[in-house]
Structure 1
Amino acid sequence: MTDPIRFNDGASYERYMGVWSQLAGAAFLDWLAPASGRRWLDVGCGNGAFTELLAWRCAPSALHGIDPSAAQLAFARTRATLRDAELCEGDAMTLPYPDDHVDAAVMPLVIFFVPEPALGVAEMVRVVRAGGLVAAYAWDMHGGGFPYHAVQREMRELGAVVPAPPRPEASRREVMEALWRDAGLIDVECHQLTVQRTFASFDEYWATIVGWDAVGRTIATMSPAASAQLQDRLRASLPADDHGRITYSARANAVQGRVPEPPAPR
């Protein structure tokens, strides 16, 4: 059994996942094509990587973010674009907002961390007004779409215990679609996002991996020989170009739906 993944360092998370989050988030917003002026809620906003995109691209009339990590929220508050956002500490399964509080709620790269994903979706439905948007995107963990899938694969091959989210199955497209339909949402649509990131060198890639606590701690428990072997295997599976750069893709599944309008009075 692996230790739970904890997000206690906004800066290291920014290097490890924040860049990927914004790449996927931009593609996600391209797909949603939301109208400006909405009241938004970012559930599991973390260090604000996606919340910042909402501020930049959606001209929100109000912007809320919630996350269980005080350290991640502290980093989010350093982003100038989020100075007017309301960021608070809390649980995705018990959102501290009244009914019909926002026009849109989104869960970016979070649903596989929610112990009861259906409850998290139900809470988003509750706080979004009738006709409003409920959406999410998540790395395709089972389909090999996670940005560091190669790292996880090679670590497992070497016998290391790889940190993993508690509910990876929630990232499956069919599971996400079922969660949205079961929550009573209408006009449910799914989409696959593919994004690409370039690292200047293998050294930058390696530093990014070991700089995040959840992975760095695991690699630190490996013998020097095993660590060196891991690097060799990663170099082979992620070949560099003529300039030493490493470029590869990651995939995420996305879903959106609308909160139904109440029936018209007879």
Structure 2
Amino acid sequence: MTDPTVVTASWSDAIGYEAYIGRWSRQVARQFVADLDVPAGRRWLDVGCGTGALTRTVLDLAEPAGVQAVDRSPTFLRHAAAHVPDPRVTFRTADAAALPVDDGSVDVVVSGLVLHFLADPGAAVTAWRRAAVPGGTVAAYVWDYAEGMQMMRAFWLAAARVDPAVATLDEAARFPICAPGPLRAVFTGAGLTDVVTGAIEVPTVFADLDDLWTPFLGGTGHAPVYVATLTDDVRAAIKEELRRSLPVQDDGSIALTARAWTVRGQVP
């Protein structure tokens, strides 16, 4: 079985990420941007833009004056730039807590599926607040790993029945910040006011078991990296556990849902 201490997530394959998480993040991003209800003509900053799901959504729905999109992965940035060819957006390599922007230079700072991966979330949100104008908005969303992101929850439960050592790899245990209370605490601790949390739930319908399982073989993300360390027999056993535990319809499809927690605050 796998030694959990040697499993580290990889974020170098943009195509793999799109198949695994990106397609579902796009659904959440649409509701997230709509709920922010930011007037047109504002300046946006997308922190940890990844493959560009949230950036594209801001451009499509919010009529921004411009969007600055930053990420640490050059591979993801190249993918985003190629798939979001809009003169209103600029892509730059940067750390989420060391932003290459002037103080008070944007109206809205957003971040999707990033905050829990950061070594110091409080320092990052403080940097986001610095980048925004007084009265500006800072907002983020993360998956509800503990329960509502059903695809990942089903995977880790199945994996644990085959390989009990995975308990420390499960995102629900690794990322306790992914819950309303901790998210609110980080935002208020960074000096933001009027902090509110919420939830967005989207359907994640898979054509069949292979449609759900194949992205776990792509090597991008915590679970896929774990799967890549396994023998063929263990991988097959986990897939079979998923087959037994998932609600498969008569046509072979699997209808699940994914819940994201949201948090937003205002710059005083």
TM score, norm. by length of structure 1:
0.91
Aligned to 1:226: 234
1:160-190 deviation per Cα after TM superposition (whole angstroms, max 9, x unaligned): 5447599612212101111111222122111
Query: Residues 140 and 216 from structure 1, CA distance in 2 versus in 1: closer, same or farther, beyond 3 angstroms?
Result: closer
Aligned to 2:245: 237
Q: Does 1:94 align with 2:95?
A: no
- Greater shift after overlay, 197-206 or 218-227? 218-227
> Structure 1 residue 2: deviation in Å?
4.5
Separation (CA, whole Å) in 2 of partners of 1:102 and 1:167: 32
Aligned to 2:82: 78
Q: Does 1:35 align with 2:39?
A: yes
Matches within 5 A, 1:49-198: 49-145=53-149, 147-159=151-163, 161=166, 162=169, 164=171, 168-198=175-205
**Are the aligned partners of 2:148 and 2:257 in contact in 1 as well (CA < 8 Å)?**
no
List runs of 5+ in structure 1 lacking aligned partners.
261-266
- Greater shift after overlay, 203-212 or 143-152? 143-152
**Are the aligned partners of 1:56 and 1:81 in contact in 2 as well (CA < 8 Å)?**
no
- Greater shift after overlay, 119-128 or 168-177? 168-177
TM score, norm. by length of structure 2:
0.90
Structure 1 counterpart of 2:203, one-letter code:
Q
Q: Does 1:206 align with 2:213?
A: yes
Separation (CA, whole Å) in 1 of partners of 2:149 and 2:211: 21
**Are the aligned partners of 2:71 and 2:94 in contact in 1 as well (CA < 8 Å)?**
yes
- Greater shift after overlay, 105-114 or 165-174? 165-174
Separation (CA, whole Å) in 1 of partners of 2:175 and 2:6: 13
Separation (CA, whole Å) in 1 of partners of 2:44 and 2:220: 30
Is the partner of 1:78 in helix, strand or coil? helix
**Are the aligned partners of 1:105 and 1:128 in contact in 2 as well (CA < 8 Å)?**
yes
> Structure 1 residue 42: deviation in Å?
0.5
Aligned to 1:246: 254
Is the partner of 1:169 in helix, strand or coil? coil
Aligned to 1:258: 266
- Greater shift after overlay, 81-90 or 241-250? 81-90
Query: Residues 128 and 2 from structure 1, CA distance in 2 versus in 1: closer, same or farther, beyond 3 angstroms?
Result: farther
Is the partner of 1:99 in helix, strand or coil? coil
Structure 1 counterpart of 2:198, one-letter code:
H
Separation (CA, whole Å) in 1 of partners of 2:135 and 2:6: 41
Matched-pair identity in % = 32
**Aligned positions, number:** 260
Query: Residues 172 and 229 from structure 1, CA distance in 2 versus in 1: closer, same or farther, beyond 3 angstroms?
Result: same
Separation (CA, whole Å) in 1 of partners of 2:146 and 2:236: 27
List runs of 5+ in structure 2 lacking aligned partners.
none
> Structure 1 residue 206: deviation in Å?
1.4
**Are the aligned partners of 1:77 and 1:83 in contact in 2 as well (CA < 8 Å)?**
no
